[in-house]
A and B are shown apart, each in its own frame.
Chain A
Amino acid sequence: MNREALFIERAGQVGVTVIAVGTLDEAVERAVELCRERRVQRAALWDAPEMAPIRAGLRAEGVEILDPRGSFETLAHAEIGITGADWGVAETGTIVLASGPGQPQAASLLPPLHLAVLRADRIVPDLATLLELCGPLPSALVFITGPSRSADIGLVPVLGAHGPTAVTVLLVAG
Chain B
Amino acid sequence: MPDRPTRIDLIRNIERALRDESLQRQMGKAMPASRKARADAAAELPEWESLRSAAAEIKDHVLANLESYLGQLESQVRALGGVVHWASDAAEARVIITDLARSRGVRRIVKSKSMTTEEIFLNPALESAGASVVETDLGEYVVQLAGERPSHLIAPVVHKPTGEISDLFVKKLGVPRYERPEDLARVAREVLRAEFLAAEMGITGVNFAIAETGTLVIVENEGNARLTTARPRIHVAVMGIEKVLPRLADLSVFLRILARSGTGQRSSVYVSLLTGRRRVGETDGPEELHLVILDNGRRRLLADPDLRGALRCIRCGACQNECPVYQHAGGHAYGSVYAGPIGAVLTPAYEGLEQARDLPFASTLCRACADVCPVKIDLPGMLVELRARAVRTGLAPRRDRMLVGAWTFFTRSPARFVLAGSLGRLAQRLLARGGKIERLPYPLSGWTAHRTAPLLASRPFRKRWKPPQEGPQ
Contacts and interface: CB of A to CB of B under 8 A. Distances in A.
Q: Is there a direct interface between A and B, measured as CB atoms under 8 Å apart in the complex? A: yes
Given A127-B256, A139-B285, A109 B227 contact: yes
Contacts of B29: 155
B68 interface: no
B79 interface: no
Interface in B188-221: 189, 192-193, 196-197, 213, 215, 221
Contacts of A149: 221-222, 269
B226 interface: yes
B395 to A, nearest CB: 37
A37 interface: no
A138 B248 CA distance: 13
B136 interface: yes
Nearest to A160: B189
A168 to B, nearest CB: 15
A72 B197 contact: yes
Contact of B162 (A70, A153, A162, A163): A153
B338 to A, nearest CB: 19
Contacts of A150: 137-139, 185, 221-222
Contacts, number: 183
B243 interface: no
Interface size class of A (residues with CB under 8 A): 35 or more
Nearest to A162: B223
A interface SS class: loop
20 contacts: A72-B230, A92-B267, A99-B285, A100-B282, A105-B230, A126-B252, A127-B255, A134-B248, A137-B215, A140-B274, A143-B267, A143-B270, A145-B267, A145-B270, A146-B269, A148-B223, A148-B270, A150-B221, A155-B33, A162-B136
Contacts of A104: 230, 282-284
B275 A139 contact: yes
A148 B268 CA distance: 10
Given A72-B231, A100-B282, A104-B282, A144 B255 contact: no
Given A156-B181, A160-B189, A142 B221 contact: no
Contacts of A143: 255, 267, 270-273
Given A127-B255, A161-B223, A99 B269 contact: no
A102 interface: yes
Nearest to B155: A152
Contacts of B182: 156, 158
Interface in B327-344: none
Nearest to B137: A152
B280 interface: yes
A140 B272 contact: yes
Chain B contact patch, size range:
35 or more
Given A127-B255, A139-B285, A153 B157 contact: yes
Nearest to A130: B252
Nearest to B213: A137
A164 B400 CA distance: 56
A76 interface: yes
A140 B256 contact: no
Nearest to A94: B267
Nearest to A71: B283
Interface string A100-119: 11101110010000000000
B278 interface: yes
Contact of A152 (B156, B189, B273): B156
Given A128-B249, A154-B162, A140 B197 contact: no
A55 interface: no
A161 B30 contact: no
A143 B161 CA distance: 32
B23 to A, nearest CB: 14
A88 interface: no
